[in-house]
């Protein structure tokens, strides 16, 4: 009984069915014997999983009563501008069980299933994105994938992608003319930017802004990577497209699962969609508050500006409509857009945000906590951030813990060779931090840098005006543990 396929209408009772088919039995006394949970590895290109992915993992565990779980493999292929295409190959090769990639990457491999979802300026609000997912359109698109070695598990709603301007706002087509605009690898995104007169440049996740005039990004990425340190403007109401997250699995790995386990994966993605939309809204709210406080200018395009952009990208739409299914999806999404009449998402820096800007004392409280990072000696040696070759020693790699509490800082490092601790005081001034160590291995030394904290991920960035900071502080983001 446990191997039969569960029809879609029965997925509502899936949690009970999966729990019953998880392989548990009875001991000799008649008591239940709990089976070990099945843990799927999932490639994640970011330092920590997006909230949307957390929602998927939570739903999978809930539906299966904990018998199916996700273990994220973070920073997967980090630093590679073609990381998402490479991640798809890794999934097919069985290097991980699951992965997520942006829907944007599929057209680089000739897959056009998601083009309507990514059509420029079409899905420009979370209200519309929610409606599109409620209508089941992304699930239909997922079923159109043709790669025989991949199984589409689900699609999750994602954040709106905007234009970050390094030295000027990007409101109208003329602002794009002759400018180099960074993007994550996508044929449709590149064609859209070319239609606006820009030169697109594929960039890896968390890349610097060097050589760019603008960057196609979401607010949480701008805040989390401190891009506002080098850029001055974001166009708040120019939402180029959303960033849907597509969860995939290798065909061989998927076929090894029971029908109930397969159904649980599909249903978890569907069940996570509402929370994923809410997470995208929350990310924007949190990130815009941080960016406003830091002084990033939120520029707005006028209706005439947006109309000019839509006209400029009309050749892109003409090409998309050549595909019958894409044309049908565009029409369906356009009908939903007209039906709900939602305005484009457009966060602003208003008086309420200014009044809530944190004082230095509250900034100090915001960093308090325990953070951890780890990396191997080889990672240190390969890092482009390496300050000096002398840093490649046994005291600069391993497992690190940073503890901030009431103006005190403690730095701990351990590996198979050595263990050390140093402590002292820290002071904050906006986004600058000074660490003044008075005890332990770094006693008498003072380090200074820029810092940012977003979604429990702490990052340090060198600023020569603030002094030096050793490379181990910079290689990986620090994740809050407590």
Residues 336, 199 share a domain: yes
Query: For the chain, how far is it from start to end, CA to CA, in angstroms?
Result: 45
The answer to whether residue 219 sits within a structural domain is yes
How far is residue 182's CA from residue 209's CA, in Å, rounded to a whole number?
8
For residue 27, the model assigns a pLDDT of 47
The verdict on 420 and 468 lying in the same domain is yes
Domain-embedded: residue 450: yes
* Position 254 in a domain: no
User: Within 13 A of 445's CA, how many CA atoms are on the CB side?
Assistant: 13
CATH classification at residue 471:
2.40.128
pTM strictly above 0.85: no
* Residue 279 confidence (pLDDT): 93
Rounded-to-integer distance, Cα 118 and Cα 140, Å: 15
Instruction: Note whether residue 318 is domain-resident.
Output: yes
Predicted pLDDT at 350: 66
pLDDT of residue 328: 97
* Domain count across the chain: 2
For residue 348, the domain's CATH number is 3.40.190.170
Cβ pair 106, 238 in contact under 8 A:
no
Tell me, yes or no, whether 29 lies in a domain: no
The last residue of one of the domains, among 305, 338, 355, is 355
Is the same domain home to 229 and 311? Answer: yes
| Alpha-carbon distances, residue 466 vs 41, 47, 171, 463 (angstroms) | 41, 26, 35, 6
Asked whether residue 272 is domain-assigned, the answer is: no
Query: Where does residue 152 fall: left (phi above 0), alpha (psi -120 to 50 degrees), or beta otherwise?
Result: beta
Q: Are residues 195 and 317 in the same domain?
A: yes
Contact of 82 with 65, CB cutoff 8 Å: no
416 and 327 in a common domain: no
CB-based contact 123:241 (threshold 8 Å): yes
386 Cβ neighbours under 8 A, 6+ residues apart: 380, 392, 471
* Nearest alpha carbon to residue 272 among 117, 11, 52, 114: 52
Q: Are residues 367 and 327 in the same domain?
A: no
Q: Are residues 284 and 373 in the same domain?
A: no
pLDDT value at position 171? 97
pLDDT at 381: 82
User: Looking at the structure, do residues 183 and 313 belong to the same domain, yes or no?
Assistant: yes
Q: In what order do the strands lie in the sheet with 98-102?
A: 68-73, 38-43, 98-102, 245-250, 150-156
Place of tokens 């508050």: 289
| Cα–Cα separations (whole angstroms), residue 170 to 167, 177, 187, 225, 292 | 10, 10, 21, 20, 18
Of 332, 355, 378, the position where a domain reaches its end is 355
- Whether residues 420 and 348 fall in one domain: no
Here the tokens at position 312 are 């400029």
Q: Is residue 311 a contact partner of residue 196, using CB atoms and an 8 Å limit?
A: no
Kindly give the confidence (pLDDT) of every residue in the chain, 482 residues in length, as a single tens digit, with 9 standing for 90 and above. 332 233 333 344 344 444 444 444 444 444 444 568 999 999 999 888 889 999 999 999 999 999 999 999 998 998 888 899 999 999 999 999 999 999 999 999 899 999 999 999 999 999 999 999 999 999 999 998 999 999 999 999 999 999 999 999 999 999 999 999 999 989 999 999 999 999 999 998 888 999 999 999 999 999 989 999 999 999 999 999 999 999 999 999 999 999 999 999 999 999 999 999 999 999 999 999 999 999 999 999 999 999 999 999 999 999 999 999 999 999 999 999 999 999 999 998 864 444 433 443 444 457 899 999 998 888 888 877 777 777 888 878 899 999 998 889 999 999 888 888 999 999 888 778 999 898 888 888 899 988 888 778 898 888 877 888 888 898 888 999 87
Same domain? 395 vs 310? no
CB-based contacts of 480, cutoff 8 Å, min separation 6: 369, 370, 371, 456, 457, 458
Q: Which domain holds residue 198?
A: 160-242+280-355
Q: Which long-range contacts link 85-88 to residues 24+ away (Cβ below 8 Å)?
A: 85/109, 85/185, 87/43, 87/45, 88/147, 88/150, 88/248
Judgement on whether residues 406 and 447 belong to the same structural domain of the protein: yes
Mind spelling out the 3-state secondary structure of the chain? CCCCCCCHHHHHHHHHHHHHCCCCEECCCCCEECCCCEEEEEECCCCCCCHHHHHHHHHHHHHCCCCEEEEEECCCCCCCCCHHHHHHHHHHCCCCCEEEEEHHHHHHHCCCCCCCCCCCCCCCCHHHHHHHHHCCHHHHHHHCCCCCCEEEEEEECCCEEEEEECCCCCCCHHHHCCCEEEECCCHHHHHHHHHCCCEEEECCCCCCCCCCCEEEECHHHHHHCCHHHCCCEEECCCCCEECCEEEEEEHHHHHCCCHHHHHHHHHHHHHHHHHHHHHHHHHHHHHHHHHHHHCCEEECCCHHHHHHHHHHCHHHHHHHCCCHHHHHHHHHHHHHHHHHCCCCCCCCCCHHHHHCCCCHHHHHHHHCEEEEEEECHHHHHHCCCCCCHHHCCCCCCEEEEEEEECCEEEEEEECCCCEEEEEEEEEEECCEEEEEEEEECCCCCEEEEEEEEECCEEEEECCHHHCCCCHHHCCCCEEECC
**End residue of a domain, out of 355, 383, 409:** 355
**pLDDT at position 35, please?**
66
Looking at the structure, do residues 294 and 387 belong to the same domain, yes or no? no
The angle at the Cα of 473, spanning 469 to 86, to the nearest 5 degrees, equals 130
Judge whether 122 lies within some domain: no
Backbone Cα Rg of the chain: 24
Whether 69 maps to a domain, the answer reads no
């Amino acid at each position: 009984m446990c191997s039969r396929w569960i029809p879609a209408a029965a997925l509502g009772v899936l949690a009970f069915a999966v729990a019953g088919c998880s392989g548990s039995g009875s001991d000799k006394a008649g008591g239940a014997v709990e089976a070990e949970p099945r843990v799927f590895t999932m490639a994640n290109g970011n330092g920590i999983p997006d909230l949307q992915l957390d929602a998927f993992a939570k739903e999978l565990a809930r539906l299966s009563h904990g018998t199916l779980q996700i273990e994220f493999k973070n920073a997967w292929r980090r630093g590679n501008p073609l990381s998402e295409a490479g991640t798809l190959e890794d999934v097919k090769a069985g290097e991980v069980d699951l992965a997520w990639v942006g829907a944007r990457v599929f057209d680089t491999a000739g897959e056009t299933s998601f083009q309507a979802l990514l059509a420029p300026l079409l899905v420009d609000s979370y209200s519309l994105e929610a409606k599109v997912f409620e209508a089941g359109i992304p699930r239909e698109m997922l079923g159109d994938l043709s790669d025989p070695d991949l199984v589409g598990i689900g699609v999750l709603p994602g954040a709106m992608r905007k234009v970050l301007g390094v030295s000027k706002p990007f409101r109208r087509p003329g602002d794009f003319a002759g400018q180099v605009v960074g993007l994550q690898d996508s044929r449709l995104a590149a064609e859209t930017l070319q239609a606006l007169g820009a030169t697109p440049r594929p960039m890896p996740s968390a890349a610097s802004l060097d050589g760019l005039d603008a960057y196609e990004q979401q607010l949480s990425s701008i805040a989390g990577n401190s891009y506002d340190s080098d850029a001055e403007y974001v166009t708040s109401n120019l939402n180029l497209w959303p960033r849907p997250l597509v969860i995939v699995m290798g065909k061989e790995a998927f076929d090894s699962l029971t029908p109930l386990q397969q159904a649980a994966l599909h249903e978890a993605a569907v069940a996570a969609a509402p929370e994923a939309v809410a997470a995208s809204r929350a990310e924007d709210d949190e990130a815009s508050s941080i960016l406003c406080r830091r002084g990033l200018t939120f520029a707005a395009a006028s209706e005439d500006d947006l109309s000019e952009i839509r006209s400029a990208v009309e050749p892109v739409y003409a090409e998309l409509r050549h595909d019958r299914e894409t044309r049908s999806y565009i029409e369906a999404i356009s009908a939903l857009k007209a039906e709900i009449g939602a305005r484009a998402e457009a966060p602003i820096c208003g008086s309420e945000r200014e009044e809530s800007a944190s004082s230095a004392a509250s900034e100090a409280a915001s960093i308090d906590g325990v953070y951890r990072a780890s990396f191997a000696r080889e990672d240190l040696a390969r890092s482009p951030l390496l300050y000096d070759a002398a840093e490649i020693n046994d005291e600069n790699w391993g497992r690190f813990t940073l503890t901030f509490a009431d103006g005190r800082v403690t730095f701990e490092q351990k590996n198979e060779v050595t263990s050390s601790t140093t402590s002292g005081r820290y002071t904050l001034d906006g986004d600058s931090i000074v660490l003044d160590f008075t005890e332990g291995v770094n006693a008498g030394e003072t380090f200074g840098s820029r810092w940012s904290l977003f979604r429990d991920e702490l990052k340090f960035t060198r600023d020569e005006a603030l002094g030096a900071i050793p490379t181990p502080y910079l290689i990986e983001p620090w994740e809050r543990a407590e």
